[in-house]
Structure 1
Amino acid sequence: MTQVPLTARGAEQLRAELEHLKKIERPRIIEAIAEARAHGDLKENAEYHAAREQQGFVEGRIKEIEGKLSNAQIIDVAQLPRTGKVVFGVTVDVLDVDKDEEHTYVIVGDDEADIKQGKISVSSPIARGLIGKGEGDVAMVDAPAGKRELEVLEVRYE
């Protein structure tokens, strides 16, 4: 499997979720299954079936996170050379020239992307258009809403 870029912060969040699932959720579900089994007939025991379904979900998520972490290329933005260029992991302030609106984006891996928090995937049209640009450069981006002209105002290595 190919390596997937992941910020150090994103990797830490995945590790924290994995620990929570293994140390808190998994034992809680095992206890719920044992308690439901004690009620007797499992065929019509809704609590048992619900707990088993939860167990399947949690175990699936654990495998998914372990897979992501094992294939991750963790990039620590603080260790990157400060070239002033937009690269994976940086925070970039841009001006949407047509709308005269400023936006701040953090370029992250696909699994970390969350537009509500300003985190955009490195494979998104906006990020692809901004990669390699420096302060003062203008990027023409083919966004889903149409062509956008974005001027790079500041690149931060946070």
Structure 2
Amino acid sequence: MGALDMKAWVMIAAPVALGLAGAGAWLALRDAPQAAIDPAVPVMPATVDIAQGEALYAQNCAACHGANLEGQPDWRTPDADGRLPAPPHDETGHTWHHPDRMLFEYTKLGGREALARQGVEFDSGMPGFGDVLTDREIWNILAYIQSTWPERERAAQAERTAADLANGGN
């Protein structure tokens, strides 16, 4: 079950498990994880527009990361400038190895800035899209990318996101 599927299952099953009398408890349970999260840590919205994400990916990302999320050839080998080519965003790449927060910040701020905020100096070729795309559009693109992954990769990425949120994004 993917992260979005799991959220939907929890949203349906939890109120039934708690019973109608426990509706107030369900609301508190549902909202408790968000209340503990640092508001500065970006979190995937509960609803996303995967179709818009696919269209935005085609417009803003496909030129480097491939129309089919396949990335550039030899993406693990630095080019003449010492930069790594754009990696694939399908299951053959490493995108699914990162929590949502990292993927969001990398897209919004660009690779160099996102990593610098983590104390890592790296000459990434990934530009920031914060001046081009809204936060919601970035989330829609990330949701589209995630929707293409097989179950195993989605589950692993969801676990990393949950661990990252539990850690406050650190």
Q: TM-score, normalised by structure 1?
A: 0.32
Structure with greater proportional strand content:
1
Q: TM-score, normalised by structure 2?
A: 0.31
- Larger Cα-atom Rg: 1
